[in-house]
Amino acid sequence: MAEFADIIIDISHEKVDRPFQYRIPERLKGQVHAGCQVDVPFGKGNVIRSGYVVDLSDKPGFALEKIKEIAGVRAGSVSAESQLIQVAWWMKERYGSTMNQALKTVLPVKQQVKQQEKRWIRCLIGRKELEEQIGEAAKKKYRARERLLKAFRELDIIPYEMAVGQLSLTPSSIKPLAEKGIIALEAVTDYRDPAKGFLRDGIHAEKKVELNDEQRNTAEAICGEYDQGIRKTYLIHGITGSGKTEIYMELIEHVIGQGKEVILLIPEISLTYQTVVRFCIRFGSQVSFINSKLSQGERYDQFERAKKGEIRIMIGPRSALFTPFKNLGLIIMDEEHEGAYKSEITPRYHARETAQYRAHLSGASVILGSATPLVETYAKASHGIYGYFRITKRAKKNSILPKVQVVDMRKELKEGNRSVFSRLLKGLVEEKLANREQVMLFLNRRGYSQFLSCRSCGEAIKCPHCDVTLTLHQDNRLRCHYCGYQIPRPSLCPACASPYLAPFGTGTQKVEAMVREAFPGARTLRMDLDTTAKKGGHEEILAAFAGHEADILIGTQMIVKGHDFPAVTLVGILAADVSLYAPDYRCGERTFQLLTQAAGRAGRDEKEGQVVIQTYSPEHYCIEAAAAQDYEGFYRREMEYRRLLSYPPACVLMTLMVSSLREELAEKGMEAALRAVKAFGSREIQKGELKLIGPVNAAVYKLNDLYRKILYMKCGNYDILIRIRNYVEAELDGGAFSRQVSVLFDII
């Protein structure tokens, strides 16, 4: 049992670096754990103060006589901080990190905002003048200003976070409007009843939609169990446009009606302006938003508000999970299949599991929502571990699922069509353009960028720091999409000096050029990493397309998420199978998700939607299932494959990556790690419970100058893998080359 406890007095991000160590007296042993609130003598006068235990240890960090004793453990209600520290402890154990890293993940950075109180923007002008101002902003191409003013068509007051998040405004573009008396920044005011002082005349809060049967049954069943005190995880599996957001709002209303609080996680890219408005109209100032564009101070501010009980609903990306609500009653995770829910930095936590742990601490339920749930999630639902609700119809009247057609591109080629557009797609695009309807063309980008290769020696030009080809851009520069390295396009091959360098592959820019050639006169917009790189670029393109400033939107993954464009009646997927052959066991699932979501973009309104999937492998089950919008069919085949090859959820997969700037050290490090794994897990390996695959070079072997080797470990038992991880870490720590080799574990 631990003898000592690390304690921080003021709970804040900065204090975490220097906790104070105390001794746990005999009578309190067993009661002290991470997150618990204790009384301790502090400072010269030994005044008793309250603090939080953040870590436990067996060894004293100082001379024993200098260490004071904990005076007592506070009983009673568990504070939000206490819960968050417990969550951090759990994350550290589960995902492998230091307690310090875990604490910094859950605690916001304390930073005062200059004008702390101002968080609402009110429109001071009437409708007629507003339209004039919008016209003027449009004429002068003040895009940010135009976006802000348009937002005031529905609401009199908008949250400041929406302006800097979904509308991408900077304080400098807000200020001139305030100076001219068009808008005013307002302090926190109680607008709990959104109808009062919140909405434009003529817009009514009672526009609240009437739930259809499927929606109502789902909401009532969950609320019913909630009122009986049942707390668990539910999966709401509803096709795109089936009205899941309306169900969430119903559940939120129910839970806050009982004096509790709610966290709603939405991947940032899907949290659109329309969604923010919907929540503002329904919940007024009880709801708050965070996003990555808020400053540290603004974020801290939001969390403080949550702590003081000024807000009851927090909406945001995965870090919103750490909102310090005292009385959390529900966590909802929209689009639970999204990759953005997994943290890429240590601790590499997954928001789904972490949400479940936090919910467990605070007695909350968890709702997972998706049109294409992860295989892992669906497996749990079908075994009855999660409650399950299926919604099969689109919610809007007259909105039906689009008609999907698959084109075999091998056949096109055989019959003499060498263009990237099949004859079917070309004909349909022409038809839609003639009807003044909109088209989205989706380019599955992975592996599909353009690079330069030499026709004499066959070499492709690669990044000197990473093991990938450089991508050719329209400005005639070659760029690395991993590390940002760039050079001007060379005229001679760097390897053999041959002048015959030619571009390979098809990028979005090239597709745009081909679209212009194939459909002269059509107005196009392109959305990819390049066009959205500048601030507000993303919003600008979406707003322009929504305003019908273009007929065809060409883009990558980004265009398939969350946005509602009622005039889009055709979605073309140019090469569906590109992502099928990525070196990752989840690539089939990702392809299915992407295709299903891309297809879901068509025909969101009353006009019938059409989808064309172009592919070189029409018989692949992921493509077949996506075309038929058949999730269950996809799941059956995918599970067979995962069982056959022992991939999650059929077992737990842990990766161990060893990296070093020196190739031979990466090799030696991996050898040592492998020895440690084999030593510790010898029994499990013999019994066949633990399977090792590799070590192999990482898919991108050299990244940012680091050589990377990977070992895969598959096991049915999570705990065994965690014990192996702890053992290998301890073994390698302080080893011969530990300074030049880094070891990273990830549980998938």
User: Which parts of this chain interact with ligand ADP (CB under 6 A)?
Assistant: 209-212, 215, 238, 240-246, 395-396
- Measured from the CB of residue 467, what is the shortest distance to Zn ion in angstroms? 9
Which strand (E) or helix (H) includes residue 214? helix 213-227
Residues linked to residue 332 through DSSP beta bridges, in sequence order: 264, 367
The 3-state DSSP class for residue 269 equals: helix
Q: Please select the residue that binds Zn ion; options are 351, 401, 406, 463, rule is CB under 5 A.
A: 463
> Could you tell which of Zn ion, ligand ADP, none binds residue 395, using a CB distance below 5 to 8 A set by kind?
ligand ADP
Within 8 A by CB and 6+ apart from 167, the residues are: 144, 147, 148, 151, 273, 539
Give the Cα separation of 123 and 85 in Å (integer): 41
Mark the segment that binds Zn ion (CB under 5 A) among 190-198, 288-296, 457-465, 576-584.
Answer: 457-465
**DSSP symbol at 95:** I
> How many residues bind to Zn ion according to rule CB under 5 A?
14
- Tokens 């065994």, residue located: 720
579 binds, among Zn ion, ligand ADP, none (CB under 5 to 8 A by kind): none
Min dist CB 206 to ligand ADP, Å, is: 14
Contacting residue, 287, 454, 546, 698, with Zn ion by CB under 5 A: 454
Query: CB 589 → ligand ADP: shortest distance, Å?
Result: 20
Q: Which does 240 bind (CB under 5 to 8 A by kind): ligand ADP, Zn ion, none?
A: ligand ADP
Q: How near is the Cβ of 418 to Zn ion at its closest, in Å?
A: 26
Residues 231-250: x/- map of binding to Zn ion (CB under 5 A)? --------------------
Question: H-type helices in 14-142, by residue range?
Answer: 80-91, 99-106, 127-139
465 binds, among Zn ion, ligand ADP, none (CB under 5 to 8 A by kind): Zn ion
Q: Are 379 and 639 in contact (CB under 8 A)?
A: yes
400/457 with CB nearer ligand ADP: 400
For residue 465, give the DSSP letter.
S
215 binds, among Zn ion, ligand ADP, none (CB under 5 to 8 A by kind): ligand ADP
457 binds, among ligand ADP, Zn ion, none (CB under 5 to 8 A by kind): Zn ion
Shortest Å, Cβ 246 to Zn ion = 45
Residue 673 interacts with, from ligand ADP, Zn ion, none (CB under 5-8 Å by kind) = none
Cα gap 162→293, rounded to integer Å? 10
Burial grade of 213 (CB within 10 A; 0-12, 13-18, 19 or more): exposed
For the bound state, the minimum distance from the C-beta of residue 501 to Zn ion, rounded and expressed in Å, comes to 8
Which residue, 440, 445, 404, 402, is CA-closest to 557? 445
Choose among ligand ADP, Zn ion, none what residue 463 binds, the Cβ cut-off being 5 to 8 Å by kind.
Zn ion
Indicate the residue type of 37: Q
Q: How far apart are CA 445 and CA 594, in angstroms?
A: 11
- Cα–Cα distance between 584 and 590 in angstroms, integer? 10
Query: In terms of CB distance, is 497 or 645 closer to Zn ion?
Result: 497
Amino acid at 132: E
Helices H / strands E in the chain, number of each: 22, 31
Give every CB contact of residue 441 below 8 A, 6+ residues apart in sequence. Answer: 511, 515, 552, 553, 554, 555, 571, 572, 574
Q: Which of 431, 424, 451, 429 is nearest to 441 (CA)?
A: 429
Contact between residue 695 and residue 711 where contact means Cβ atoms under 8 Å apart: yes
Kindly state the smallest distance separating residue 394's Cβ from ligand ADP, in Å.
7
Residue span binding Zn ion (CB under 5 A) among the ranges 5-13, 324-332, 458-466, 727-735: 458-466
The residue among 391 and 706 lying less far from Zn ion, judged by its C-beta, is 706
From the list ligand ADP, Zn ion, none, partner contacted by residue 492 (C-beta under 5 to 8 A by kind): none
Residues 705, 465 contacting (CB under 8 angstroms): yes
Q: How far is the CB of 292 from ligand ADP (least distance, A)?
A: 22
With CA atoms as reference, report the closest residue to 390 among 639, 233, 222, 214: 214
Q: Which is nearer to ligand ADP, 478 or 599 (CB)?
A: 599
Q: Of these, 162, 321, 429, 466, which contacts Zn ion (CB under 5 A)?
A: 466
Closest distance of CB 213 from ligand ADP, Å: 9
Closest contact distance (angstroms) between CB of 250 and ligand ADP is 10
243 binds, among ligand ADP, Zn ion, none (CB under 5 to 8 A by kind): ligand ADP
Strand partners, 710: 657, 696
Partner whose footprint covers residue 518, from Zn ion, ligand ADP, none (CB < 5 to 8 Å by kind): none
State both tokens at 18.
């220097």
- Taking the least distance from each CB to Zn ion, the nearer of 57 and 456 is 456
Answer yes or no whether residue 626 interacts with Zn ion by CB under 5 A: no
Contact 444, 578 (CB under 8 A): yes
Which residue from 545, 459, 537 is spatially nearest to 498, judged by alpha carbons? 459
User: 219 or 468, CB closer to Zn ion?
Assistant: 468
Residue 109: exposure state from Cβ atoms within 10 A (0-12, 13-18, ≥19)? middle
Contact predicate 438/565, CB 8 Å: yes
* Beta-bridge mates of residue 711: 656
Q: Residue 164: which H helix or E strand, with range?
A: helix 160-164
User: Judged by CB under 5 A, does residue 392 bind Zn ion?
Assistant: no
| Of the candidate residues 456, 682, 717, 738, the single one contacting Zn ion (CB under 5 A) | 456
Nearer Cβ to Zn ion, position 2 or 661?
A: 661
Residue 465 in the binding site for Zn ion (CB under 5 A): yes
- Eight-class DSSP state of 15: G
Q: How far is the CB of 458 from Zn ion (least distance, A)?
A: 7
Contact in structure between 148 and 174 (CB atoms under 8 Å): yes
Question: Of the two residues 231 and 396, which places its CB atom closer to ligand ADP in the complex?
Answer: 396
Closest to Zn ion by CB, 269 or 487:
487
Task: Write out the two tokens for 222.
Answer: 């969950």
Choosing among ligand ADP, Zn ion, none, which partner's interface includes residue 242 (Cβ < 5 to 8 Å by kind)?
ligand ADP
Question: Minimum Å distance from CB 460 to Zn ion?
Answer: 10
User: Toward ligand ADP, which CB reaches closer, 155 or 480?
Assistant: 155
As measured in angstroms, the least distance from the Cβ of 650 to ligand ADP is: 29
**Shortest reach from residue 249's CB to ligand ADP, in Å:** 8
| Residue 37 or 242 having the CB closest to ligand ADP | 242
Give burial (CB, 10 Å; 0-12/13-18/19+) of 514. Answer: middle
Q: Look up residue 199 and give its DSSP letter.
A: B
C-alpha distances in Å from residue 425, one per residue of 133, 513, 597, 613: 41, 17, 19, 9
The alpha helices in 607-662, defined as continuous H runs, are 621-627, 631-644
Q: What is the nearest approach in angstroms of ligand ADP to the Cβ of residue 721? A: 36
- Which residue, 716, 713, 729, 696, is CA-closest to 654? 713
Name the segment binding Zn ion (CB under 5 A); options: 284-292, 448-456, 543-551, 602-610.
448-456
If the CB atoms of residues 371 and 461 are measured against Zn ion, the closer one turns out to be 461
> In the stretch 482-521, what mask flags binding to Zn ion with x, by CB under 5 A?
xx-x-------x-xx-x-----------------------
* Residues within the interface to Zn ion (CB under 5 A): 454, 456-457, 463, 465-466, 480, 482-483, 485, 493, 495-496, 498
